[in-house]
Amino acid sequence: MTESEASKDFIRQIIADDLKSGKHTSIITRFPPEPNGYLHIGHAKSICINFGIAEEFGGKCNLRFDDTNPAKEEDEYIRAIKEDVKWLGFDWQERLFHASDYFEQLYLMAEQLIEDGNAYIDEQVPDLIREQRGNLNTPGSDSPHRDRPAAESLDLFRRMRAGEFADGSMVLRARIDMASPNMNLRDPVIYRIVRQHHPRTGDAWCIYPMYDFAHGQSDALECITHSLCTLEFENHRPLYNWLVEHIDLPSKPRQIEFSRLNVSYTVTSKRKLLRLVKEGHVSGWNDPRMPTLSGLRRRGIPAPAIVEFCKKVGVTKYEGVTDVAVLDGIVRDHMNASAPRRLAVLRPLKVVITNYPELAAAETVEAPNHPGNPDMGTRLVPFGPVVYIEQSDFMEEPPKKYFRLAPGKEVRLRYAFNIVCDEVIKDDNGNVFELRCSYDPESKGGGGRKVKGIIHWVSAEHAVDAEVRLYDHLFTEPDPNVGDDFLDHINPKSLEVIQSKVEPSLADLTLEDRVQFERSGFFALDLDSKPDALVFNRVVALRDSWAKIQAKG
């Protein structure tokens, strides 16, 4: 890591200066998720910063689960978080920790605070404690228990641990400053009684530390040098520092904050994401419309594209919103370079080639797997007397400069033949359901007359049925949080499911494969897909059609 590289953002500059001055000989960072939900794209930025910076400077990054609230934590979330971090390309190796690893040490630290006169037991009800803390314009008022003798508080704290008292009957508070302009320093609660089975410690504990108490001390126990977190913790830093200074600890970590990753047409609040799941607005945490990493992965977005997106957003102190189109563009670039091309007709319209030889042997046409990369080779695609084309590639009464299929018009079927539309067949309601066309047998592979219109197709005899899921933004507003309820902005057209026809080679795709359906977009198999029932997700369209959709209303 050169000095010029390190100066790209303020965090890297701080770390470079600390190493240069000898304050640290190596660095250790950490990613400390709470296992009460699935990780989302905002977490991806934190993962990339903590793991990425440690890697750049030859340091280490710990994965530590903040499991201090057993009422909301589940093993499912722990498994999902591990999978997401690995998917993004990062490895904590042997450095997997939990706040619960330190419950005994944290408890003894709390006893030290009590003995030093820096913490006390408060027996008031939670509502009264909140009321006494005041607000931004009014200082707090002291609890009647604030000057309780240390020995009495210590006895009560030990009896709390022994399970003598009911949930909510008392708490341990740090004794700091009830008049502080920073609300976090107004004698914050650092321990509470919670009789809840813990996924790792079982029923060994009935008191649990608060996040603000456990976090800094866990950092110190792991000798974290730079505790990198998002800006909402900036006001918590004075408390972080106060606790680190008032407890005997093996190290003194430094907390540094950076701006969150906010993306348009997206919510990243765990509470709101949980509501989307619980109320059935999406199919689950890994619904491809969700901003969760599991949802993005299921949709087919490649992990390197997310990492590049996080790098492009950068590390700043300024909150902002990044247009989701930036992510879409990066995803397109990644997939455009590597995704093989395939023929798929999303909304089929039947075309019968009336002059095709009745007894012709099975015919194939040669198609490149990637027109821009000859090294990816070619494939043979079956052709026959009946094909499907896109409904949108035919107009009975076309406007001027319309170069696709219309009565009497000639187009090229990509990689195959030229056809002319001779007859339009309609149902009783006047809807076009079949076209009768003639073809030029001399035009195979680019011969014959040159035409401006080129459309894609699949052979009806050989086509494979597939369910295709077309995704759009989950919300209609760039900022879904405006108004009374973010659910008011749910996009009713965020998912469209259609029955399509695809070329037979797509039946051999795996969940890891990504392809471009020519002229349609990039697609991946969904987890629901089965060998005899293909299901494809559109990862991203070839171009952003959102503005056009909005304009049409």
**CA-to-CA distance for 434 and 350, rounded, in angstroms?**
5
Predicted pLDDT at 2? 46
What CATH class has 270-340+467-552? mainly beta
Instruction: Tell which wins on pLDDT, 3 or 518.
Output: 518
pLDDT of residue 358: 77
Active site positions, annotated: 34, 260, 270
DSSP state of 495: E
pLDDT higher than threshold 50 for residue 344: yes
> Within a 10 A sphere around the Cβ of 530, how many other Cβ atoms?
8
Question: What pLDDT does residue 549 have?
Answer: 40
The confidence score (pLDDT) of residue 74 equals: 87
**Count of helices and strands (H, E) across the chain:** 14, 25
Segment 286-290 shows an average pLDDT of: 98
Closest CA relative to residue 170, chosen from 235, 124, 107: 124
- Residue ranges of the domains in the chain? 3-258, 270-340+467-552, 344-456
* Cβ–Cβ < 8 Å for 437, 476: no
Is residue 536's pLDDT more than 60? Answer: yes
Tens-digit pLDDT profile for residues 105-127: 999 999 999 999 999 999 999 99
Whether 274 has a pLDDT exceeding 50, the answer reads yes
Residue 369 has a pLDDT of 97
* Structure tokens belonging to residue 105: 């040490």
Statement: residue 436 has pLDDT above 90: yes
- The Cα 383–Cα 461 span in angstroms is 8
- The 3-state DSSP class for residue 552 equals helix
Dist. CA 475–CA 491, nearest whole Å: 5
pLDDT at 520 over 50: yes
Task: Summarize pLDDT for 295-325 with one digit per residue, the tens.
Answer: 999 999 999 999 999 999 999 999 899 999 9
Closest to 394 (Cα-Cα) out of 355, 346, 435, 439: 435
pLDDT of 553 > 50? The answer is no
Q: What is the pLDDT of residues 464-516, one digit of tens each?
A: 999 999 999 999 999 999 888 999 999 999 999 999 999 999 999 999 999 99
Q: What is the mean pLDDT of residues 322-350?
A: 96
pLDDT, tens only, 157-181: 999 999 999 999 999 999 999 999 9
User: What per-residue confidence (pLDDT) applies to 316?
Assistant: 93
Burial of 135 (0-12, 13-18, 19+ CB in 10 A): exposed
The model's confidence at residue 3, banded by pLDDT at 50, 70 and 90, is very low
Q: pLDDT above 70 covers what percent of the chain?
A: 96
Q: What is the mean pLDDT of residues 35-44?
A: 96
Give the Cβ contact number of residue 159 at 10 Å. Answer: 13
Q: What is the mean pLDDT of residues 345-371?
A: 90
pLDDT of residue 360: 64
Using 50, 70 and 90 to split pLDDT, how confident is the model at 361?
low
CATH architecture, domain defined by 344-456: Beta Barrel (2.40)
- The secondary element (H helix, E strand) that includes residue 501 is strand 495-502
pLDDT number for residue 449: 83
Please identify which residue in the block is written with the tokens 């990044």.
322
Confidence of residue 448 (pLDDT cuts 50, 70, 90): confident
Q: Is the pLDDT of residue 452 over 60?
A: yes
C-alpha 150/C-alpha 119 separation (Å) is 8
Q: Which CATH superfamily is domain 3-258 in?
A: HUPs (3.40.50.620)
Same fold, 270-340+467-552 and 344-456: yes
Distance CA 155, CA 146 (A): 15
Q: Which of 121, 116, 237, 243 is nearest to 173 (CA)?
A: 121
Which pLDDT belongs to residue 445? 81
Under the banding of pLDDT at 50, 70 and 90, the label for residue 401 is confident
Across the chain, mean pLDDT equals 94
